[in-house]
Structure 1
Amino acid sequence: MAAPSKTTAPRVTRRTAQAADTRLHIVATARRLFAANGYVRTTIEGVAAESGVAVQTVYNSVGNKAALLSAVLDDAASGPNAPAQVLEFMRERTRQAPDLDALLAMLADWFVEVHQRTGTVLGVIAQAAAVDADVAKLEKARALQRLTRYHEAAAAVRERGGLTSGMTDEDAAAAIWSLGHPQAYRTLVNDAGWTPEAYREWILKALAAALA
Protein backbone atom coordinates (compact mmCIF):
# COMPACT_ATOMS: atom_id res chain seq x y z
CA MET A 1 0.00 0.00 0.00
CA ALA A 2 1.44 3.35 -1.01
CA ALA A 3 2.27 5.81 1.73
CA PRO A 4 -0.04 8.84 1.85
CA SER A 5 1.39 11.86 0.13
CA LYS A 6 2.43 14.78 2.26
CA THR A 7 0.93 18.20 1.68
CA THR A 8 3.55 20.90 1.60
CA ALA A 9 3.02 24.61 1.96
CA PRO A 10 3.44 26.67 -1.20
CA ARG A 11 7.03 27.77 -1.65
CA VAL A 12 7.47 31.51 -1.31
CA THR A 13 10.00 32.68 -3.85
CA ARG A 14 12.07 35.82 -3.57
CA ARG A 15 10.11 37.33 -6.44
CA THR A 16 6.79 36.60 -4.69
CA ALA A 17 8.05 38.14 -1.45
CA GLN A 18 9.31 41.22 -3.28
CA ALA A 19 5.98 41.62 -5.06
CA ALA A 20 4.14 41.42 -1.74
CA ASP A 21 6.46 44.00 -0.19
CA THR A 22 5.99 46.30 -3.18
CA ARG A 23 2.22 46.01 -2.87
CA LEU A 24 2.33 46.82 0.85
CA HIS A 25 4.50 49.86 0.15
CA ILE A 26 2.16 51.11 -2.58
CA VAL A 27 -0.92 50.66 -0.37
CA ALA A 28 0.75 52.44 2.56
CA THR A 29 1.71 55.34 0.29
CA ALA A 30 -1.81 55.54 -1.14
CA ARG A 31 -3.28 55.53 2.36
CA ARG A 32 -1.16 58.52 3.30
CA LEU A 33 -1.98 60.43 0.10
CA PHE A 34 -5.72 59.72 0.25
CA ALA A 35 -5.77 60.98 3.84
CA ALA A 36 -3.77 64.11 3.01
CA ASN A 37 -5.22 65.04 -0.38
CA GLY A 38 -8.58 63.30 -0.69
CA TYR A 39 -9.69 61.00 -3.48
CA VAL A 40 -9.95 63.41 -6.41
CA ARG A 41 -6.52 64.99 -5.97
CA THR A 42 -4.78 61.66 -5.39
CA THR A 43 -3.72 60.10 -8.68
CA ILE A 44 -2.21 56.79 -9.69
CA GLU A 45 0.72 58.74 -11.09
CA GLY A 46 1.22 60.49 -7.77
CA VAL A 47 1.07 57.23 -5.83
CA ALA A 48 3.59 55.69 -8.21
CA ALA A 49 5.96 58.64 -7.90
CA GLU A 50 5.76 58.69 -4.10
CA SER A 51 6.24 54.92 -3.99
CA GLY A 52 9.23 55.03 -6.31
CA VAL A 53 7.69 52.62 -8.82
CA ALA A 54 6.36 52.79 -12.36
CA VAL A 55 2.71 53.65 -12.94
CA GLN A 56 2.14 50.23 -14.51
CA THR A 57 3.49 48.60 -11.34
CA VAL A 58 0.65 50.17 -9.36
CA TYR A 59 -1.90 48.78 -11.81
CA ASN A 60 -0.25 45.35 -11.87
CA SER A 61 0.18 45.14 -8.11
CA VAL A 62 -3.12 46.59 -6.89
CA GLY A 63 -5.34 47.80 -9.72
CA ASN A 64 -7.11 51.01 -10.62
CA LYS A 65 -7.80 53.91 -8.28
CA ALA A 66 -10.95 52.38 -6.76
CA ALA A 67 -9.12 49.08 -6.20
CA LEU A 68 -6.34 51.02 -4.52
CA LEU A 69 -8.84 52.64 -2.18
CA SER A 70 -10.33 49.22 -1.43
CA ALA A 71 -6.87 47.87 -0.57
CA VAL A 72 -6.27 50.86 1.70
CA LEU A 73 -9.51 50.06 3.55
CA ASP A 74 -8.43 46.43 4.01
CA ASP A 75 -5.06 47.56 5.32
CA ALA A 76 -6.65 49.99 7.78
CA ALA A 77 -9.18 47.44 9.01
CA SER A 78 -6.57 44.72 9.59
CA GLY A 79 -4.19 47.10 11.35
CA PRO A 80 -1.62 45.28 13.50
CA ASN A 81 -3.27 41.95 12.66
CA ALA A 82 -2.06 42.15 9.04
CA PRO A 83 -1.47 40.20 6.91
CA ALA A 84 -4.40 38.29 8.44
CA GLN A 85 -7.73 39.44 7.03
CA VAL A 86 -10.48 40.75 9.30
CA LEU A 87 -12.67 37.69 8.83
CA GLU A 88 -9.84 35.39 9.91
CA PHE A 89 -8.93 37.04 13.20
CA MET A 90 -12.51 37.94 14.09
CA ARG A 91 -13.49 34.28 13.80
CA GLU A 92 -10.67 33.46 16.20
CA ARG A 93 -11.74 36.17 18.66
CA THR A 94 -15.31 34.89 18.49
CA ARG A 95 -14.18 31.33 19.13
CA GLN A 96 -12.27 32.45 22.22
CA ALA A 97 -15.26 34.24 23.79
CA PRO A 98 -16.46 31.81 26.51
CA ASP A 99 -19.92 33.28 27.08
CA LEU A 100 -22.39 35.90 25.87
CA ASP A 101 -21.00 38.74 28.00
CA ALA A 102 -17.49 38.11 26.70
CA LEU A 103 -18.74 37.94 23.11
CA LEU A 104 -20.60 41.25 23.36
CA ALA A 105 -17.59 42.89 25.04
CA MET A 106 -15.41 41.61 22.19
CA LEU A 107 -17.78 43.13 19.63
CA ALA A 108 -17.84 46.47 21.47
CA ASP A 109 -14.04 46.51 21.63
CA TRP A 110 -13.85 45.64 17.94
CA PHE A 111 -16.14 48.47 16.87
CA VAL A 112 -14.04 51.02 18.75
CA GLU A 113 -10.84 49.52 17.37
CA VAL A 114 -11.90 49.32 13.74
CA HIS A 115 -13.69 52.67 13.59
CA GLN A 116 -10.65 54.46 14.97
CA ARG A 117 -8.47 52.85 12.31
CA THR A 118 -10.79 53.15 9.33
CA GLY A 119 -12.53 56.46 10.00
CA THR A 120 -10.32 58.51 7.69
CA VAL A 121 -10.45 56.14 4.73
CA LEU A 122 -14.21 55.61 5.11
CA GLY A 123 -14.61 59.38 4.99
CA VAL A 124 -12.61 59.42 1.75
CA ILE A 125 -14.81 56.63 0.35
CA ALA A 126 -18.00 58.49 1.28
CA GLN A 127 -16.81 61.62 -0.53
CA ALA A 128 -15.47 59.71 -3.52
CA ALA A 129 -18.68 57.72 -3.96
CA ALA A 130 -20.40 60.93 -5.04
CA VAL A 131 -18.06 61.40 -8.01
CA ASP A 132 -16.82 57.92 -8.92
CA ALA A 133 -19.21 55.10 -9.83
CA ASP A 134 -16.62 52.43 -9.01
CA VAL A 135 -16.20 53.79 -5.49
CA ALA A 136 -19.98 54.00 -5.07
CA LYS A 137 -20.12 50.29 -5.91
CA LEU A 138 -17.29 49.65 -3.46
CA GLU A 139 -19.10 51.50 -0.66
CA LYS A 140 -22.29 49.50 -1.24
CA ALA A 141 -20.44 46.19 -1.55
CA ARG A 142 -18.52 46.72 1.69
CA ALA A 143 -21.70 47.61 3.59
CA LEU A 144 -23.39 44.43 2.37
CA GLN A 145 -20.24 42.44 3.12
CA ARG A 146 -20.33 43.57 6.75
CA LEU A 147 -24.02 42.66 7.01
CA THR A 148 -23.35 39.17 5.64
CA ARG A 149 -20.43 38.57 7.97
CA TYR A 150 -22.45 39.55 11.03
CA HIS A 151 -24.59 36.46 10.46
CA GLU A 152 -21.68 34.52 11.96
CA ALA A 153 -21.68 36.82 14.99
CA ALA A 154 -25.44 36.38 15.33
CA ALA A 155 -25.08 32.60 15.30
CA ALA A 156 -22.38 32.88 17.97
CA VAL A 157 -24.72 35.00 20.10
CA ARG A 158 -27.41 32.32 19.84
CA GLU A 159 -24.93 29.56 20.72
CA ARG A 160 -24.06 31.44 23.92
CA GLY A 161 -27.65 31.84 25.07
CA GLY A 162 -28.70 35.08 23.40
CA LEU A 163 -31.66 35.91 21.14
CA THR A 164 -34.16 34.58 23.67
CA SER A 165 -36.79 37.08 22.47
CA GLY A 166 -37.29 35.07 19.30
CA MET A 167 -35.15 37.28 17.07
CA THR A 168 -33.84 35.44 14.03
CA ASP A 169 -30.16 35.30 13.15
CA GLU A 170 -30.90 37.49 10.14
CA ASP A 171 -32.53 40.15 12.31
CA ALA A 172 -29.71 39.89 14.84
CA ALA A 173 -27.13 40.41 12.09
CA ALA A 174 -29.03 43.51 10.98
CA ALA A 175 -29.07 44.80 14.56
CA ILE A 176 -25.31 44.33 14.95
CA TRP A 177 -24.73 45.97 11.55
CA SER A 178 -26.93 48.96 12.39
CA LEU A 179 -25.57 49.57 15.88
CA GLY A 180 -21.96 49.18 14.77
CA HIS A 181 -22.31 51.17 11.56
CA PRO A 182 -19.36 53.51 10.90
CA GLN A 183 -21.72 56.45 10.45
CA ALA A 184 -23.05 55.98 13.99
CA TYR A 185 -19.49 56.16 15.32
CA ARG A 186 -18.68 59.25 13.23
CA THR A 187 -21.83 61.03 14.37
CA LEU A 188 -21.47 60.22 18.06
CA VAL A 189 -17.70 60.60 18.42
CA ASN A 190 -16.65 63.05 15.71
CA ASP A 191 -19.76 65.24 15.60
CA ALA A 192 -21.38 64.92 19.03
CA GLY A 193 -18.08 64.86 20.90
CA TRP A 194 -18.40 61.51 22.64
CA THR A 195 -15.20 59.85 23.77
CA PRO A 196 -14.39 56.40 22.36
CA GLU A 197 -14.89 55.08 25.89
CA ALA A 198 -18.40 56.55 26.05
CA TYR A 199 -19.17 55.06 22.63
CA ARG A 200 -17.97 51.64 23.80
CA GLU A 201 -20.15 51.80 26.91
CA TRP A 202 -23.16 52.79 24.81
CA ILE A 203 -22.76 50.14 22.14
CA LEU A 204 -22.14 47.41 24.72
CA LYS A 205 -25.44 48.28 26.44
CA ALA A 206 -27.23 48.57 23.09
CA LEU A 207 -25.94 45.21 21.88
CA ALA A 208 -26.91 43.55 25.16
CA ALA A 209 -30.43 45.00 25.00
CA ALA A 210 -30.94 44.09 21.34
CA LEU A 211 -29.48 40.59 21.44
CA ALA A 212 -30.64 39.32 24.85
Structure 2
Amino acid sequence: MTTILDAALTTVRAPGPAEERRHVVRAARGVFAREGWTHTTVEAVAAEAGTGPETVEHYFKDKGRLLLAVLLEGAAAVAAALTAVAEEHLAEVTDLERDLAALGRAWLTPLIAFPEHFAIVRHIGAETARLPAGVLEMWQSAGPRQTQRELARRLRGLADAGLLDVADADHAADCFVRLVVGGVVQRSFHGAVPLSDFETDALIESGVADFVRLFGPATAR
Protein backbone atom coordinates (compact mmCIF):
# COMPACT_ATOMS: atom_id res chain seq x y z
CA MET A 1 0.00 0.00 0.00
CA THR A 2 1.36 3.43 -0.95
CA THR A 3 1.46 5.76 2.03
CA ILE A 4 1.12 9.54 2.04
CA LEU A 5 4.84 9.73 2.76
CA ASP A 6 5.70 7.49 -0.21
CA ALA A 7 3.51 9.54 -2.52
CA ALA A 8 4.94 12.83 -1.31
CA LEU A 9 8.53 11.72 -1.66
CA THR A 10 7.82 10.44 -5.16
CA THR A 11 6.88 13.95 -6.22
CA VAL A 12 10.23 15.41 -5.15
CA ARG A 13 12.62 12.61 -6.05
CA ALA A 14 14.68 12.90 -9.23
CA PRO A 15 16.96 10.30 -10.78
CA GLY A 16 20.45 10.19 -9.33
CA PRO A 17 22.66 8.48 -6.79
CA ALA A 18 20.62 7.80 -3.66
CA GLU A 19 23.45 8.60 -1.29
CA GLU A 20 24.08 11.99 -2.88
CA ARG A 21 20.40 12.84 -2.51
CA ARG A 22 20.45 11.77 1.15
CA HIS A 23 23.52 13.94 1.68
CA VAL A 24 21.67 16.95 0.27
CA VAL A 25 18.69 16.28 2.56
CA ARG A 26 20.96 16.00 5.61
CA ALA A 27 22.63 19.28 4.72
CA ALA A 28 19.27 20.97 4.15
CA ARG A 29 18.01 19.74 7.52
CA GLY A 30 20.89 21.50 9.24
CA VAL A 31 20.39 24.75 7.35
CA PHE A 32 16.61 24.82 7.80
CA ALA A 33 17.09 24.10 11.51
CA ARG A 34 19.42 27.10 11.88
CA GLU A 35 17.90 29.58 9.45
CA GLY A 36 14.26 28.65 9.03
CA TRP A 37 12.33 28.66 5.78
CA THR A 38 12.63 32.33 4.82
CA HIS A 39 16.38 32.70 5.22
CA THR A 40 17.46 29.34 3.81
CA THR A 41 18.76 29.42 0.25
CA VAL A 42 19.68 26.71 -2.21
CA GLU A 43 23.19 28.17 -2.23
CA ALA A 44 23.47 27.78 1.56
CA VAL A 45 22.32 24.16 1.36
CA ALA A 46 24.82 23.48 -1.42
CA ALA A 47 27.63 25.00 0.64
CA GLU A 48 26.61 22.89 3.65
CA ALA A 49 26.63 19.79 1.45
CA GLY A 50 29.95 20.69 -0.14
CA THR A 51 28.44 20.69 -3.61
CA GLY A 52 27.08 23.13 -6.15
CA PRO A 53 23.57 24.62 -6.34
CA GLU A 54 22.99 22.72 -9.56
CA THR A 55 23.35 19.44 -7.66
CA VAL A 56 20.71 20.48 -5.14
CA GLU A 57 18.42 21.58 -7.96
CA HIS A 58 18.98 18.28 -9.76
CA TYR A 59 17.16 16.48 -6.95
CA PHE A 60 14.80 19.24 -5.82
CA LYS A 61 13.38 21.69 -8.32
CA ASP A 62 12.83 24.38 -5.71
CA LYS A 63 13.29 25.19 -2.03
CA GLY A 64 9.71 24.21 -1.21
CA ARG A 65 10.21 20.63 -2.38
CA LEU A 66 13.46 20.46 -0.46
CA LEU A 67 11.73 21.59 2.75
CA LEU A 68 8.97 19.05 2.16
CA ALA A 69 11.46 16.21 1.80
CA VAL A 70 13.27 17.25 5.00
CA LEU A 71 10.03 17.58 6.97
CA LEU A 72 8.59 14.27 5.77
CA GLU A 73 11.78 12.37 6.50
CA GLY A 74 11.89 13.82 10.02
CA ALA A 75 8.18 13.21 10.56
CA ALA A 76 8.53 9.57 9.55
CA ALA A 77 11.43 9.06 11.97
CA VAL A 78 9.58 10.72 14.87
CA ALA A 79 6.37 8.80 14.11
CA ALA A 80 8.26 5.51 14.08
CA ALA A 81 9.91 6.34 17.40
CA LEU A 82 6.60 7.29 19.04
CA THR A 83 4.85 4.21 17.68
CA ALA A 84 7.54 2.10 19.34
CA VAL A 85 7.11 4.07 22.58
CA ALA A 86 3.35 3.45 22.60
CA GLU A 87 3.82 -0.24 21.89
CA GLU A 88 6.37 -0.61 24.67
CA HIS A 89 4.50 1.29 27.37
CA LEU A 90 0.94 0.21 26.66
CA ALA A 91 1.51 -3.45 25.85
CA GLU A 92 0.89 -4.43 29.47
CA VAL A 93 -0.67 -1.90 31.83
CA THR A 94 -0.82 -2.88 35.50
CA ASP A 95 -1.11 0.55 37.15
CA LEU A 96 -3.00 2.95 34.88
CA GLU A 97 -1.76 6.32 36.17
CA ARG A 98 1.82 5.15 36.71
CA ASP A 99 2.03 3.56 33.27
CA LEU A 100 0.44 6.53 31.52
CA ALA A 101 2.92 8.85 33.25
CA ALA A 102 5.78 6.63 32.06
CA LEU A 103 4.34 6.82 28.55
CA GLY A 104 4.21 10.60 28.83
CA ARG A 105 7.88 10.82 29.81
CA ALA A 106 8.91 8.50 27.00
CA TRP A 107 6.73 10.45 24.55
CA LEU A 108 9.02 13.44 25.05
CA THR A 109 12.24 11.63 24.13
CA PRO A 110 12.09 12.56 20.41
CA LEU A 111 12.56 16.21 21.41
CA ILE A 112 16.09 15.22 22.42
CA ALA A 113 16.64 12.51 19.80
CA PHE A 114 15.64 14.69 16.82
CA PRO A 115 16.71 18.24 17.74
CA GLU A 116 17.07 19.52 14.16
CA HIS A 117 13.60 18.32 13.21
CA PHE A 118 12.01 20.14 16.13
CA ALA A 119 14.08 23.25 15.45
CA ILE A 120 12.48 23.26 12.00
CA VAL A 121 9.07 22.75 13.59
CA ARG A 122 9.67 25.85 15.74
CA HIS A 123 10.63 27.85 12.66
CA ILE A 124 7.64 26.80 10.58
CA GLY A 125 5.34 27.64 13.47
CA ALA A 126 6.53 31.23 13.13
CA GLU A 127 6.60 31.21 9.31
CA THR A 128 3.31 29.47 8.55
CA ALA A 129 1.98 32.24 6.31
CA ARG A 130 5.09 32.12 4.12
CA LEU A 131 5.26 28.36 3.56
CA PRO A 132 4.40 26.79 0.20
CA ALA A 133 0.84 25.53 -0.12
CA GLY A 134 0.36 21.98 1.11
CA VAL A 135 3.57 21.65 3.11
CA LEU A 136 1.95 21.89 6.54
CA GLU A 137 -0.89 19.54 5.61
CA MET A 138 1.47 16.86 4.28
CA TRP A 139 3.73 17.15 7.33
CA GLN A 140 0.75 16.90 9.69
CA SER A 141 -0.55 13.83 7.85
CA ALA A 142 2.78 12.02 7.79
CA GLY A 143 3.80 12.95 11.34
CA PRO A 144 1.49 14.17 14.11
CA ARG A 145 -1.71 12.63 12.72
CA GLN A 146 -0.06 9.31 11.96
CA THR A 147 1.33 9.21 15.49
CA GLN A 148 -2.06 10.07 16.97
CA ARG A 149 -3.72 7.25 15.01
CA GLU A 150 -1.23 4.74 16.42
CA LEU A 151 -1.76 6.04 19.95
CA ALA A 152 -5.54 5.86 19.44
CA ARG A 153 -5.23 2.22 18.43
CA ARG A 154 -3.39 1.44 21.67
CA LEU A 155 -5.86 3.39 23.81
CA ARG A 156 -8.70 1.51 22.15
CA GLY A 157 -7.01 -1.67 23.30
CA LEU A 158 -6.96 -0.40 26.88
CA ALA A 159 -10.65 0.43 26.58
CA ASP A 160 -11.37 -3.09 25.32
CA ALA A 161 -9.56 -4.40 28.40
CA GLY A 162 -11.74 -2.27 30.67
CA LEU A 163 -8.91 0.04 31.74
CA LEU A 164 -10.35 3.12 30.03
CA ASP A 165 -13.83 4.33 29.17
CA VAL A 166 -13.34 5.62 25.63
CA ALA A 167 -16.07 6.24 23.07
CA ASP A 168 -13.80 7.98 20.55
CA ALA A 169 -10.21 6.73 20.64
CA ASP A 170 -8.95 9.46 18.30
CA HIS A 171 -10.36 12.11 20.63
CA ALA A 172 -8.80 10.35 23.62
CA ALA A 173 -5.40 10.26 21.89
CA ASP A 174 -5.64 13.97 21.11
CA CYS A 175 -6.52 14.68 24.74
CA PHE A 176 -3.59 12.58 25.97
CA VAL A 177 -1.12 14.52 23.87
CA ARG A 178 -2.59 17.88 24.85
CA LEU A 179 -3.01 17.16 28.57
CA VAL A 180 -0.03 14.95 29.36
CA VAL A 181 2.80 16.21 27.15
CA GLY A 182 1.43 19.42 25.66
CA GLY A 183 2.44 21.56 28.61
CA VAL A 184 6.03 20.34 28.52
CA VAL A 185 6.26 20.80 24.75
CA GLN A 186 4.91 24.34 24.95
CA ARG A 187 6.95 25.48 27.94
CA SER A 188 10.16 23.99 26.53
CA PHE A 189 9.46 25.39 23.05
CA HIS A 190 9.71 21.90 21.54
CA GLY A 191 12.77 21.06 23.57
CA ALA A 192 14.74 24.28 22.99
CA VAL A 193 14.57 25.24 26.68
CA PRO A 194 14.71 22.00 28.71
CA LEU A 195 12.64 21.93 31.87
CA SER A 196 13.80 20.50 35.17
CA ASP A 197 12.86 16.90 35.95
CA PHE A 198 10.68 18.20 38.78
CA GLU A 199 8.69 20.53 36.53
CA THR A 200 8.40 17.92 33.80
CA ASP A 201 7.14 15.29 36.23
CA ALA A 202 4.66 17.71 37.78
CA LEU A 203 3.19 18.65 34.40
CA ILE A 204 2.97 15.03 33.26
CA GLU A 205 1.41 13.77 36.49
CA SER A 206 -1.14 16.58 36.52
CA GLY A 207 -2.00 15.85 32.90
CA VAL A 208 -2.38 12.14 33.57
CA ALA A 209 -4.70 12.86 36.49
CA ASP A 210 -6.86 15.03 34.22
CA PHE A 211 -6.82 12.38 31.49
CA VAL A 212 -7.89 9.64 33.88
CA ARG A 213 -10.69 11.83 35.22
CA LEU A 214 -11.96 12.11 31.66
CA PHE A 215 -11.35 8.59 30.41
CA GLY A 216 -10.78 6.34 33.40
CA PRO A 217 -13.22 3.46 33.93
CA ALA A 218 -16.49 4.67 35.43
CA THR A 219 -15.89 2.72 38.65
CA ALA A 220 -12.66 4.68 39.26
CA ARG A 221 -14.24 8.15 38.94
| Counterpart-to-counterpart distance in 1, 2:49 and 2:85 | 34
The alpha carbon displacement at 1:57 in A equals 2.9
Secondary structure, aligned partner of 2:109: helix
* Matched residues, number: 185
1:120 corresponds in structure 2 to 119
> Does residue 1:94 correspond to 2:86, yes or no?
yes
| Counterpart-to-counterpart distance in 2, 1:43 and 1:159 | 47
Greater length-normalized contact order (CA 8 Å, ≥ 6 residues apart) = 2
TM-score after normalising by structure 1: 0.66
TM-score after normalising by structure 2: 0.64
Relative to structure 1, the CA distance from residue 152 to residue 39 in structure 2 (aligned partners, 3 Å threshold; closer, same or farther) is closer
| Amino acid paired to 1:152 | E
1:6 corresponds in structure 2 to none
| Amino acid paired to 2:200 | Y
| Contact residue 37 and residue 123 of structure 2 kept, 8 A | yes
> Does residue 1:64 correspond to 2:62, yes or no?
yes
The alpha carbon displacement at 1:148 in A equals 4.5
Relative to structure 1, the CA distance from residue 90 to residue 132 in structure 2 (aligned partners, 3 Å threshold; closer, same or farther) is closer
| Amino acid paired to 1:47 | V
Relative to structure 1, the CA distance from residue 105 to residue 38 in structure 2 (aligned partners, 3 Å threshold; closer, same or farther) is same
| Counterpart-to-counterpart distance in 1, 2:149 and 2:139 | 15
The alpha carbon displacement at 1:89 in A equals 4.3
| Contact residue 150 and residue 176 of structure 1 kept, 8 A | no
Secondary structure, aligned partner of 2:129: coil
The alpha carbon displacement at 1:153 in A equals 1.1
Q: CA RMSD in A?
A: 3.5
Relative to structure 1, the CA distance from residue 94 to residue 121 in structure 2 (aligned partners, 3 Å threshold; closer, same or farther) is same
Provide, for residues 134-177 of structure 1, a one-character-per-residue CA deviation record: whole Å limited to 9, x for no partner: 3xx32244335423431221221232346633442121132134
| Counterpart-to-counterpart distance in 2, 1:208 and 1:71 | 38
Moved over 6 A (4+): none
Unaligned runs of 5+ in 2: 1-15, 217-221
Secondary structure, aligned partner of 1:28: helix
1:52 corresponds in structure 2 to 50
Secondary structure, aligned partner of 1:104: helix
Percent identical: 23
